[in-house]
């Protein structure tokens, strides 16, 4: 019996997909067997998985953003009665209270006896939570394979004394790894004053005191919107900075760096690089084998989820390579190369 050509092609793709899945499961099972991790999870396991759908929280966030609830609460940081909050927002206070209670359960707002208030970095409690963010980034770096930049970018090719400025680097988690791996590098760490003070007086003395003793790290506070970084560095490295800001602000940050960029210096933007969901012949990104989607589909959903989070929280975005090149060009920089690093990528730029 003859099989139609289209049906035969589809049948072949299914076999290819099954083969990919079988190979992947074999790799996972081997990994579990060779590690100290528990046994392979059962198909009956009810423990939530990171890829499980979460519908309610984004919908609730949309409500509070639409009705400008955080803006209203800024008028009264000590908190506001839910009835007053509903009146100011022009929305049913009972329904609003139910929505905000869910968000308070996720620590986005705080519920008291009679009021709900947002957590702000401007409050003592917010400042305390802010101090934990940089430490928490160490764990996030592990989850996203961010430290792959240490091995996947050729830092070792640069001569002794090469200066790397970790711009907006928080506590300098990646800077620490670079210092430990490459004796040829001198690091500079720049961020807002509160963050730099904690990095210099608490974090580095605890985790890498030798770098301070050997004078391989320099700390200097800055606001990258209003001033340029330390001039004359060989490399300006920005990890997970551009995704926090719309294009206009990103261009301002990059222009401030461009103003102090010496000939031959590089700017490295380390972030997720959003991949298109269609196969192309010229993509610089790693593509999954057919019949899978080239961006690995749900297996690499994190950057697409994060893209929407950036949209909701900051009116910003995770960018495609074309979008990185666009903002760089408007800041007087030109694209050199894309370096894949784990889940993320490094966009290398130079003066145009």
Nearest to 121 by CA among 166, 70, 172: 70
As to burial, measured by CB atoms within 10 angstroms (0-12 exposed, 13-18 middle, 19+ buried), residue 27 is: exposed
Q: Which residues contact 244 (CB under 8 A, 6 or more apart)?
A: 310, 314, 316
Question: What is the DSSP annotation of 229-284?
Answer: -STT-SEEEEES-GGGS-HHHHHHHHHHHHTTPPTT-EEEEEE-EE--SS--SS-S
- Structure letter (DSSP) for residue 82: H
Beta strand pairing call for 162-167 and 185-191: parallel
- Catalytic choice (243, 270, 276, 279): 243
Catalytic site residue 243? yes
Note the Cα 236 to chain centre separation in Å: 18
b/e code 263-277 from CB counts within 10 Å (16+ = b): eebbbbbbbbbbbee
Active site residues: 243
């Amino acid at each position: 019996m003859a099989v139609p050509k289209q049906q035969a092609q589809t049948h072949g793709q299914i076999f290819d997909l099954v083969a990919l899945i079988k190979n992947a499961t074999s790799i996972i099972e081997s990994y579990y067997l060779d590690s100290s991790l528990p046994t392979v999870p059962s198909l009956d396991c009810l423990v939530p998985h990171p890829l499980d759908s979460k519908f309610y929280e984004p919908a609730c966030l949309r409500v509070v953003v639409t009705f400008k609830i955080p803006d209203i609460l800024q008028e009264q940081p000590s908190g506001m009665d839910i009835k007053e909050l509903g009146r100011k927002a022009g929305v049913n206070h009972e329904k609003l209270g139910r929505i905000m209670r869910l968000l308070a359960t996720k620590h986005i707002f705080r519920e008291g006896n009679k009021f709900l208030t947002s957590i702000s970095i401007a409050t003592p409690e917010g400042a305390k939570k802010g101090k934990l963010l940089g430490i928490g980034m160490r764990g996030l770096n592990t989850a996203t394979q961010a430290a792959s930049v240490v091995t996947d970018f050729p830092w070792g090719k640069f001569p002794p004394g090469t200066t790397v400025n970790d711009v907006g680097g928080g506590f300098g988690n990646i800077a620490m790894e670079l210092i430990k791996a490459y004796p040829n590098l001198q690091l500079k760490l720049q961020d807002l004053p509160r963050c730099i003070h904690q990095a210099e007086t608490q974090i580095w003395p605890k985790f890498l005191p030798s770098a301070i003793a050997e004078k391989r790290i320099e700390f200097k506070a800055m606001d990258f919107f209003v001033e340029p970084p330390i001039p004359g560095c060989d490399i300006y490295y920005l990890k997970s900075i551009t995704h926090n800001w719309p294009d206009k602000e990103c261009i301002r940050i990059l222009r401030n760096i461009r103003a102090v960029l010496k000939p031959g210096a590089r700017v490295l933007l380390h972030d997720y690089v959003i991949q298109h969901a269609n196969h192309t012949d010229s993509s610089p990104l790693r593509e999954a084998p057919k019949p899978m989607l080239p961006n690995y589909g749900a297996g690499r959903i994190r950057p697409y989820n994060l893209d929407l989070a950036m949209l909701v929280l900051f009116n910003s975005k995770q960018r495609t390579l074309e979008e990185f090149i666009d903002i760089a060009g408007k800041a007087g920089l030109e694209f050199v190369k894309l370096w894949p690093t784990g889940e993320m990528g490094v966009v290398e730029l130079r003066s145009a």
